[in-house]
Copies of this chain bind each other. A is one copy, B any other.
Amino acid sequence: MATLPPGISSAEFETALGKFEEAVGEEWVFKSDEDVALYRDAYSPERDEPTERLASAAVAPVTVEQVQQIVRIANEHRIPLYPISTGKNLGYGGSAPILSGSVVVDLKRMNRILSVDEGRCSCVVEPGVSYFDLYDHIQQRGLKVWVDCPDPGWGSVVGNALDHGVGYTYGQYRDHFGSHCGMEVVLPNGEVMRTGMAALANDNQWADYKYGFGPYVAGLFGQANFGIVTKMGFWLLPEPEAYRRGMVYVPKRRDLIPLVDHVNYLENLGLIGQPGFRSPLGASRAREPELRALLEKPGGPTDEELDRFAESKGIPSWGVELQFYGPEKTIAGSWDYAKERIAASIPGATFEDGVAYRFPLTEAQKAEVQRVHRLVDVGVPNMSIFSIAGGRTEQNPDHADGGQFYFAPMIPRTGEAVLEAGRVLAEAYREAGLPYNDHFALPACWHYRAFIMITSLPVSRLDPEVNRRSRAAFEHIARVAAEHGWGEYRSPPFGVDLVMGAYSFNDHALRRFCETLKDAVDPNGIIAAGRGGIWPRHIRESNA
């Protein structure tokens, strides 16, 4: 074994592993180099460097009782644990720990779907249940419910929610942590706790009401290290009668500002799912040398110059794809309304009807969905994003040997903020020596009420220089973003302190409050050290 938990002797580690084996069975403790290597972060930007975050071993329990035993053994021997659900969070650490030497607690075997209730539109699942598993279960039982899926669909429903992951349908369901309801968690002392109505002696309202009575503690278990979540309830969407898409295009650069306001209005009223902003003008760059020249001139083009070019070619500056879910009559009415509202306010706005379906979809329709937009838009998990993104990124088109990690700051949900962030991030990327979609950068709209300017940085398995440059770029761009008041909602493992550092109000009062809680709940600091930027006392002190 190359990696040991910090401060633990090889002999003591062997003793602890022996106890893990007693708890879960010898075949479910992984300690050979080959086995442990499977837990490396496939997209680590620290690959093969001394800082690469490596597990010392892994243990795969199948019951809550086994998780409790593991936690008790870890306390006894001060073994740091790093729980993962399925470990598919590529770009954000995958199945590797944040603290090297941690023992990964791999929950993949805990994959029971405990309930799916069609009438109440909810489910309760274990961490090893993937979106594929849950979808298949629902299809097999013929239930008329949907799971809002992230992309790709092989990840854990529980793990994605705990990482504050996001999806594609209605805003309230896209917030996967917010649409969870009730959880079971093994605390750092080995006790099992349930939150909300799941804490009642009779758990038949597990997924009905999240707060229960008194303090609502579930937030402490997302992006955090206060326990190991072993079950979660979720609110599902009912299968709608129908779906339709509609495209809106606006001519001028600054039309983005009212366009965003209109889209916000539609989303805040629950009339649309995730909107998809586009720039036809930006997309035309490849075939328009005149536009490229304009973009490359010193100081860049003015808005008026871009507008003149766009008008001369009849290319809209911006567009947005809207998604409507519900009864056919309802969504036809909503699309009509969107057209009327936007046409009345943005001169030259144009509209285009998109695809429309009734559910359930035929196989031919599913193929059309996949061709025209995305299966996740209609609640079908899949892996097609890998064929799009793969290891290639705009910043690193040649490194198919690699992958990427994300720098994705949240910005205000306004057109002004998008234009400003595009400018600022382009400058920061230039300073970092990496390309960026200048002038036409658009936000991802996964989050319900905020925009994310998602950008990715390349990693390589072969060229450490690529990784060093990406890490340095991340640090530079994160600092620039923080200066503008933009924070991130997630972080690759090497960036947790930097990202948490931006949430600095009153000398990092939030982080210090979390540290107080952490020391109280996990005095030995055994659970997921570093996750969410929170470290146990002994590591904070040794780093001070």
Contact = CB atoms under 8 A, between A and B. Distances in A.
A264 to B, nearest CB: 6
7 contacts: A120-B264, A192-B509, A208-B413, A215-B532, A269-B325, A326-B334, A517-B520
Contact of A504 (B192, B201, B447, B485): B201
B120 A269 contact: no
A288 interface: no
Contacts of A218: 219
A268 to B, nearest CB: 5
A220 B222 contact: no
A529 to B, nearest CB: 13
A261 interface: yes
Size class of the A contact interface (CB-based, 8 Å): 35 or more
A271 B192 CA distance: 38
A213 B514 contact: no
Nearest to A414: B119
A10 interface: no
B220 A217 contact: yes
Interface stretch (A53-61, A293-301, A343-351, A487-495): A487-495
Nearest to A120: B413
Contact of A330 (B199, B226, B271, B486): B271
A269 to B, nearest CB: 6
Interface in A219-244: 219-224, 226, 235-238, 240-241
Interface in A165-195: 170-172, 177-178, 181, 187, 191-195
A199 B510 contact: yes
A449 interface: yes
A489 B449 contact: no
A519 B521 CA distance: 11
A60 B434 CA distance: 55
Contacts of A532: 213-215
Given A329-B334, A517-B521, 19 more contacts: A119-B414, A171-B172, A178-B178, A191-B512, A193-B513, A199-B487, A200-B503, A203-B485, A209-B489, A213-B491, A213-B532, A215-B222, A215-B223, A216-B223, A217-B219, A217-B514, A326-B334, A329-B337, A516-B520
A312 interface: no
Interface string A262-297: 001100111100000000000000000000000000
A198 B413 CA distance: 15
A468 interface: no
Interface string A244-273: 000000000000000011001100111100
A184 to B, nearest CB: 8
Contacts of A197: 410, 450, 487
A330 B203 CA distance: 38
Contact of A120 (B412, B482, B505): B412
A243 to B, nearest CB: 12
A482 to B, nearest CB: 7
**Total identical chains:** 2
A18 interface: no
A12 interface: no
A204 B271 contact: no
A388 to B, nearest CB: 26
Interface in A307-359: 325-334, 336-337
B235 A504 contact: no
A534 interface: yes
A224 B211 CA distance: 12
Contacts of A362: none
Contacts of A413: 119-120, 208
A108 interface: no
Nearest to A265: B238
Interface string A364-385: 0000000000000000000000
Contact of A194 (B121, B177, B207, B509): B509
Contact of A511 (B214, B326, B447, B534): B214
A217 B485 contact: no
Contacts of A198: 505
B237 A269 contact: yes
- Nearest 5 Cβ contacts at the A-B interface: A202-B485, A329-B333, A214-B532, A216-B219, A520-B520
A91 interface: no
Contacts of A240: 269
